Amino acid sequence: GSEADASGNNSKETTLTFGFQTADYPALLEESGLFEDLPYKLETPVIAGPAAQISALYSQATDVGLVGENTAAFEAANAADDWNTTGPKVFTIAGFTAKNAPYPAPSLFVKKSANIQKLADLRGKSIAYNFGGNIYAGYVKVLANAGLTVNDIKPVQLPDNQAAAAAFSAGQVDAVVTGYAQIKRVVDSGEAVRLATNEDLGVDGGAGFITRPDVLDDPAKLAAVRDFFGRFSRFYREWYPANEAAVEKVLQSVLKQTPEVSKINWENGAKGRLYRVGDSAFIERQQKIVDAAFAAGGVKHQRDIKAVFNPIVDKESVPQ
Amino acid sequence: MSVSELEHPPVAATPPAAVEDLSPRGGRSRAGVAWRTYRGRVLRILVPALLIALWQASSALGWADEFTLPPPSRILDAYGELWSNGDLQAALPTSLQRAGIGLALGVTIGLALGLFAGLWKIGEEVFDAPLQMLRTIPFIAVVPLFITWFGIGETPKLTLIAAATVFPMYLNTYHGVRGVDKKVIEAGQTFGLTGWRLATRVILPTALPAALTGLRYAAGVSLLALVLAEQINALEGIGYLVNNANQNQRPDIVIAGIGIYALLGIVVDVLMRLAEHFALPWRPRVTIG
Amino acid sequence: MSVSELEHPPVAATPPAAVEDLSPRGGRSRAGVAWRTYRGRVLRILVPALLIALWQASSALGWADEFTLPPPSRILDAYGELWSNGDLQAALPTSLQRAGIGLALGVTIGLALGLFAGLWKIGEEVFDAPLQMLRTIPFIAVVPLFITWFGIGETPKLTLIAAATVFPMYLNTYHGVRGVDKKVIEAGQTFGLTGWRLATRVILPTALPAALTGLRYAAGVSLLALVLAEQINALEGIGYLVNNANQNQRPDIVIAGIGIYALLGIVVDVLMRLAEHFALPWRPRVTIG
Amino acid sequence: MSPSAEAVVDIRGVRRVFGDRAVLNGVDLRLHQGDVVALLGPSGTGKTTLLRILAGLDAADDGRVLVPKARSVVFQEPRLVPARRVWRNVVLGSRHVRRDRSRAVRALTEVGLASHQNAWPVTLSGGEAQRVALARALATEPGLLLLDEPFAALDALTRIRMHDLVAELIGRHNPAVLLVTHDVDEAILLADRILILDGGTIGVDVTVDIEKPRQRTDGRFAELRALLLGRLGVGQATAAAP
Amino acid sequence: MSPSAEAVVDIRGVRRVFGDRAVLNGVDLRLHQGDVVALLGPSGTGKTTLLRILAGLDAADDGRVLVPKARSVVFQEPRLVPARRVWRNVVLGSRHVRRDRSRAVRALTEVGLASHQNAWPVTLSGGEAQRVALARALATEPGLLLLDEPFAALDALTRIRMHDLVAELIGRHNPAVLLVTHDVDEAILLADRILILDGGTIGVDVTVDIEKPRQRTDGRFAELRALLLGRLGVGQATAAAP
Ligand SMILES: Nc1ncnc2c1ncn2[C@@H]1O[C@H](COP(=O)(O)OP(=O)(O)OP(=O)(O)O)[C@@H](O)[C@H]1O
Ligand SMILES: Nc1ncnc2c1ncn2[C@@H]1O[C@H](COP(=O)(O)OP(=O)(O)OP(=O)(O)O)[C@@H](O)[C@H]1O
Ligand SMILES: [Mg+2]
Ligand SMILES: [Mg+2]
């Protein structure tokens, strides 16, 4: 990181605390070797769940946190004050998605026996999902694209992805918004089919990286953030696709994934790239998701959420 | 020494060091009794009220920011919001019904097993180990299993609440039964009581204080279990409200929800105190001061 | 009737209906004692073993599919995997230390408050209401608040475990103290015991069975609380293992984790039984059959 | 004692060991229907232990124990169930408690406690509790009545009333009775036979053949009293003199 | 009674009401240092209630109660702490329990229970438990000793030994003693003054001026016994005859 060296001489004393939700990230970052000899100290606590991530961020236990791509937008739409006037309390500064992934997530899966050929057929059917993140975005876009409201279907909200997948696999619901890995069994056996992918639904999927304004105002921290995303971008572009064995090994040993699941995850992740959060088409898609969530009662206000997407590290994330 | 001397003792107003005056003291004592009675009620309300005042002050003085600990005034607004949306009105009956049914199931099972294991060695040998295992199951991790087995209707919710309440009831009943005075049990046996009648006439009434402790604890657990249970396909309920607020970074509603829990906890407690009062009239109440 | 007639009674082998033979029966009785002793140990192991056999059978017979309820054989493999990775070896000491410290904190506070509230009316008036409120807090919903207040180090984890264990300890101690025979307390007071010495010499030893019930319960709770606590910035620990496996479609590891919990639960139980055995030698153990 | 009848209590060579001390070390005892036997002995000598074995509450370590099925016991302590009102304690073993309330009240009236029928045991005085325990035992129809110092907490007048009550019950149901007491006069007044338990065996077994009602003024009474007190280790001069 | 000395116990017009029954209804009592007073009365008449008020365990509803600070009580039941070994029960109130172990053993030896010093209370016989309670009271140096039927569960010989023991303690520390008993002979043997409590007040208050050691054979003894038994409602013929 030569550019970071230039920005501050005592930046070795800067600590960047980057909260991840799963333990594979710290392991993969280390494995890649791209994050050695950093001009600042990097800490990578693992904090499960978006709510806990946001708490950690607000309480300054972390500087940057990994959440869903739309988490900050939902925060804005839920906030008591309009962030367009008060200024955002959190920014999404980067995002990560796997376009053209072989197993796109979130996707809509339906039971064959439920006789659902198109989104509109979901009327009166039960759909399982979990609140928050991409799954929820997928769910509200399913409704929006199908031209349905929550009153036209039987929504089944469950605590997490696993529970939703379990309900679907056990035949308790007609449809589910989830990833392929979770319900592989029923799809492979032919009991269920995929009806729509994230792209069909207008959900990018993947992760969002959020931070506080004061982190960006601190030059040393900002420099560290820029440096980090520069390396992180390379990590996804170069290292991850080229190191299938190493990645799967980490997924298996750290996350205890089965070889099958870890392979699915690697194949998806190998297509993964950071994207520009300043991209207007992207922001427009996010606005649609928030609007759809508002229609479904998932957020409290209909707000313009443009302001939470801060392109301050877009240059490092997506180098030309 | 004449009688009148004793009634108006010249020096006895300051009795010698080794003597103690245990006489009841008319006026002071009546005030004392009243004071003790009211002190109880007042303190029970005053202490929480003070905590709330401190909390509001900490916000006003900037010790805690709005996000870390929203001030009580914000919590009140949250109640207003929940009330005007009708969330609260919908949540309470639903949740109380769930908690109630689950609790009834769990307590019945726990009581039966506790009695059985307490009364008969073989009961303990058969049920104790499985129950010790049951109680250590982290329910949060078995939600998918619950859904697979019990579906997504009311069954998994009630099952979960019942499962969570069985153990406290069991453990306290068991220990209560084991703690019943052996001598009194023997007396019952001598007069021809065995099995069920010995249990209902001697052991259960005498173990009732412990069983009620279990019930009191289980009642609290049933409310807590709502938070887990109502993650499963619930659209109303206090647990759902809290979960939902938690996912939406609404600490004010989370704390409002905790407030409802606390209130319900106190209601349960008052009810249990009444129950104890009526169920245990024979029990002298003692404190050392 | 001669003595020899009595010792070898011609008809007394079938005594008249109204007469009962209470004689100890030599051979049979020794076998009986041995049988009762071993039956206990055997049943305690046999019952869980049978449950496991049933479980394996249910997989073999297809009552439950591999994904929702993997058979015991798969769970064994999971243990193998966790062991060879060194996860188990890393998890146990970390988690046990956390649970232990949290438990020690919570139990100390709970014991102190329980004694205080049990012994002095004012203690109850001051602490009972706040504790009744504390116990109804759904900890699962306050993990984010704990992060806000206590950061992401060990503090929030230990605080959470301690907070979860205070109440069971408090409640049982309190009820134990209140349940101590008034007559014995009076005897202590008469012989000049007051306050602390009355508590340690008369009330605490006599209330110990109840306090130990509380400890036993709190120990279980401390293990359960790990699942929540180890959501916060933990990279090892049993709670972490379970959470992680749950998110990564490894029901076998989830169940393996539950198995560890169950095992720890039983270990705790055995330890508590030993503790009770040594702490309560004065207590006759009774069952009615 | 009617030698023709079959013994209803028949124990032989009963041993009971606590730790390394044989509290009972070969006790033999036979009682027939209607026998009233008093058991004396120093404190801690094993009287209660023997009663517990006869009641079926404790098992002998060795020996042979045959007793009637229907037994009633007045324990050395009242042993009332604290959670049940006095009258319910009296009909504790009854099959139809409510229906037997009148029986309970009758028994309580006999011991002079009808007014306490609805009290909780904890509010009773020592003697009242002991009388409730007595009423409980007397309300049954036992084949064997075991009384462990049942009158210890009673004043002289109440004690006489209770003596009469017990005598009446014995007349009515004709059970075998074993009465533990420390009062030698009481033993002589009530019993047909007096035993002294000491050192783990029954050392003295005398038949009282003074016709009833017995008078303390009777020469044979004083003689027997002196004999028993002597065997209990109390010198004539100190206490045994009439 | 030494009229010149100041009374250490001075109660006047003490009332105690349970429900709507005045169990004590104006009791007056003065005791001086060294006074040994026996309290007789039918069962349930309020003797224990009065003792509890003197012990400071219950409050009078009305009246005046002055008692010494240092009081020892032998309750009607043993009231041992079940969770503490016998010797620790004896020095229950002591500040330095371990240091006082020898004192405990001495007291236990006096009541003949040195061998039970390490036993748990639950294993004691009725009389043994009562003797431990006695040892516990005698191991202190009270200004007022309250004894509620302390010898009820003891055999004749042990009872005599305990009488001696109490007399010795009284000689040593000179406390005021109030002894509740149902045994009229015992009252006459031990007390300087005998009271009978009945109907809520002290109806009889007689001074015993027979010189010690008192003999049951003494005419004045028999006379006093007859008087007291008469006041307790026991006819001469039945039980009071010497
Ligand atoms: N807490 C109470 N509530 C109601 N009544 C009570 C209570 N305590 C005692 N009594 C009643 O007061 C009366 C006197 O009781 P107390 O124990 O003083 O009698 P006592 O003279 O010691 O009798 P005893 O010789 O049988 O021991 C009894 O009738 C008893 O039932
Ligand atoms: N469970 C036990 N464990 C150990 N020792 C015991 C047990 N039960 C009784 N003992 C001892 O056995 C002896 C006899 O006790 P028991 O109660 O039979 O005496 P007792 O003759 O009834 O005396 P008392 O007249 O004092 O009631 C006592 O020394 C007692 O300490
Ligand atoms: Mg005895
Ligand atoms: Mg009394």
Domain, as residue range, for E61: 9-236
Domain count, chain E: 1
Encode pLDDT of C77-132 as tens digits.
Answer: 999 988 998 888 989 999 999 999 999 999 999 999 998 888 888 888 888 878 87
pLDDT at C2 over 50: no
Number of H helices, E strands in chain E: 7, 9
Evaluate whether residue B289 is within a structural domain: no
Alpha-helical runs (H) found in chain C: 3-7, 26-60, 72-85, 87-119, 121-135, 139-150, 154-179, 182-190, 195-198, 204-229, 238-247, 251-279
Evaluate whether residue B118 is within a structural domain: yes
Q: What's the pLDDT band for C18 if we cut at 50, 70, 90?
A: confident
Q: Is D56 on the interface with C (CB under 8 A)?
A: yes
Evaluate whether residue C15 is within a structural domain: no
Q: What's the pLDDT band for A212 if we cut at 50, 70, 90?
A: very high
Chain B, residues 182-211, CB within 8 A of chain D, namely 183-184, 186-193, 201-202, 205-206, 208
Evaluate whether residue D1 is within a structural domain: no
Burial E136-166 (b: 16+ CB within 10 A, else e): bbbbbebbbbbbbbbbbbbbbbbbbebbebb
pLDDT at A68 over 90: no
| Whether C and D touch (3+ CB pairs < 8 Å), yes or no | yes
Domain, as residue range, for B229: 73-279
Q: Give how far the C-alpha of residue D108 lies from the chain's centroid of Cα atoms, to the nearest Å.
A: 19
- List CB contacts of C137: < 8 A, sequence separation 6 or more: B258, B261, B262, C163
CB contacts, 8 Å: A182 with chain C:
249
Beta bridge mates, E9: E31
| d(CA E153, ligand 3 centre) in Å | 8
Encode pLDDT of A184-197 as tens digits.
Answer: 889 999 999 999 99
Average pLDDT over chain D reads: 89
CA nearest neighbour of B259 among B283, B219, B223: B223
Q: Which residue has the higher pLDDT, C61 or B36?
A: C61
Distance to chain D for E196, nearest Cα, Å? 11
Encode pLDDT of A249-268 as tens digits.
Answer: 999 988 888 898 899 999 99
> What pLDDT is attached to residue C261?
85
| d(CA D108, ligand 4 centre) in Å | 19
pLDDT at A1 over 50: no
Evaluate whether residue E242 is within a structural domain: no
Provide the residue type at E188 as one letter.
Answer: I
Quickly count: other Cβ atoms within 10 Å of residue A185's Cβ: 15
Q: What are phi and psi of A123, to 5 degrees?
A: -55, 125
Sign of CA dihedral A77, A80, A84, A89: negative
Chain E, residues 136-155, CB within 8 A of chain C, namely 136, 140
| d(CA E48, ligand 1 centre) in Å | 7
> What pLDDT is attached to residue B28?
46
The domain that holds E124 is classified in CATH as 3.40.50.300
Evaluate whether residue D241 is within a structural domain: no
Question: Is the Cβ pair E69, B12 closer than 8 Å?
Answer: no
> What pLDDT is attached to residue D116?
94
Q: Is B34 on the interface with A (CB under 8 A)?
A: no
Cα→Cα distances C83→C77, C88, C223, Å: 10, 5, 20
> What pLDDT is attached to residue D181?
94
Cα→Cα distances C241→B144, B156, C66, C158, E192, Å: 16, 24, 20, 18, 81
pLDDT at C44 over 80: no
Q: For chain D, give the percent of residues with pLDDT over 70.
A: 95
Distance to chain B for A102, nearest Cα, Å? 26
Question: Is the Cβ pair B231, A162 closer than 8 Å?
Answer: no
Distance to chain B for D19, nearest Cα, Å? 20
| Closest residue, chain A, to B152 (C-alpha) | A172
Residue range E209-217: mean pLDDT, rounded: 86
Question: Is the Cβ pair B148, A132 closer than 8 Å?
Answer: no
Encode pLDDT of B181-235 as tens digits.
Answer: 888 988 998 888 888 888 888 988 888 888 888 998 899 889 888 888 888 888 7
> What pLDDT is attached to residue B288?
54
Closest residue to C19, CB basis, from D12, D53, D67: D67
> What pLDDT is attached to residue C28?
45
| d(CA E214, ligand 4 centre) in Å | 27
Evaluate whether residue B216 is within a structural domain: yes
Distance to chain B for E18, nearest Cα, Å? 14
> What pLDDT is attached to residue A62?
93
Which tokens is D15 given?
Answer: 């041993």
Name residues with Cβ closer than 5 Å to ligand 4, which is an ion.
D 125-126; E 48, 76
> What pLDDT is attached to residue B199?
86
| d(CA E9, ligand 1 centre) in Å | 22
> What pLDDT is attached to residue C56?
84
> What pLDDT is attached to residue D225?
92
> What pLDDT is attached to residue E5?
61
> What pLDDT is attached to residue D239?
44
Domain count, chain C: 1
Evaluate whether residue D242 is within a structural domain: no
Q: Which of E18, E23, E40, E43 to mutate to test the interface with D (most CBs of D within 10 A)?
A: E43
> What pLDDT is attached to residue D44?
92
Q: Report how far residue A293's alpha carbon sits from residue A137's, in angstroms, rounded to the nearest whole number.
A: 7
Q: Tens digit of pLDDT per residue, chain B (289 long)? A: 332 322 333 333 334 447 888 887 654 455 666 777 777 778 878 887 888 888 888 777 777 666 667 888 888 888 998 899 888 888 899 999 999 999 999 999 999 999 888 888 888 888 887 887 777 787 777 787 788 888 888 999 999 999 989 989 998 899 888 888 888 988 998 888 888 888 888 988 888 888 888 998 899 889 888 888 888 888 788 888 888 887 777 778 888 888 888 888 888 888 888 887 787 777 765 555 5
> What pLDDT is attached to residue B33?
65
Closest residue to B141, CB basis, from C43, C227, C285: C227
Which tokens is B65 given?
Answer: 């920011």
Encode pLDDT of E2-28 as tens digits.
Answer: 444 678 999 999 999 998 899 999 999
| Closest residue, chain B, to D90 (C-alpha) | B191
Residue range A130-158: mean pLDDT, rounded: 89
Evaluate whether residue B55 is within a structural domain: no
Q: Is D66 on the interface with B (CB under 8 A)?
A: no
Q: Which residue has the higher pLDDT, D58 or B235?
A: D58
Q: Report how far residue E65's alpha carbon sits from residue E8's, in angstroms, rounded to the nearest whole number.
A: 11
> What pLDDT is attached to residue A238?
94
Encode pLDDT of E102-122 as tens digits.
Answer: 999 999 999 999 999 999 998
Q: Which residue has the higher pLDDT, B142 or C289?
A: B142
Q: Report how far residue C76's alpha carbon sits from residue E20's, in angstroms, rounded to the nearest whole number.
A: 72
- Radius of gyration of chain B from Cα atoms? 26
Residue range E149-169: mean pLDDT, rounded: 90
pLDDT at D112 over 90: yes
> What pLDDT is attached to residue C64?
67
Evaluate whether residue C61 is within a structural domain: no
Q: Is A80 on the interface with B (CB under 8 A)?
A: no
Evaluate whether residue C26 is within a structural domain: no
> What pLDDT is attached to residue B273?
80
Evaluate whether residue D112 is within a structural domain: yes
Q: What's the pLDDT band for C194 if we cut at 50, 70, 90?
A: confident
> What pLDDT is attached to residue B135?
78
The domain that holds C110 is classified in CATH as 1.10.3720.10
| d(CA D182, ligand 3 centre) in Å | 10
| Closest residue, chain E, to C208 (C-alpha) | E83
Q: Is the pTM of this model over 0.80?
A: yes
D23 lines ligand 2 (CB under 6 A): yes
Evaluate whether residue D161 is within a structural domain: yes
> What pLDDT is attached to residue C13?
34
Encode pLDDT of A230-242 as tens digits.
Answer: 999 999 999 999 9
> What pLDDT is attached to residue C1?
30
Chain D, residues 7-46, CB within 8 A of chain B, namely none
Evaluate whether residue D164 is within a structural domain: yes
D76 lines ligand 2 (CB under 6 A): yes
Are the C-beta atoms of residues E118 and D194 closer than 8 Å to each other?
no
Query: At CA C130, angle to CA C127 and CA C132, rounded to 5?
Result: 100
Distance to chain C for D121, nearest Cα, Å? 13
Q: Which of B184, B189, B277 to mutate to test the interface with D (most CBs of D within 10 A)?
A: B184
Question: Is the Cβ pair E155, D239 closer than 8 Å?
Answer: no
Chains within contact range of chain B (3+ C-beta pairs < 8 Å): A, C, D, E
Distance to chain A for C61, nearest Cα, Å? 18
| d(CA B190, ligand 2 centre) in Å | 19
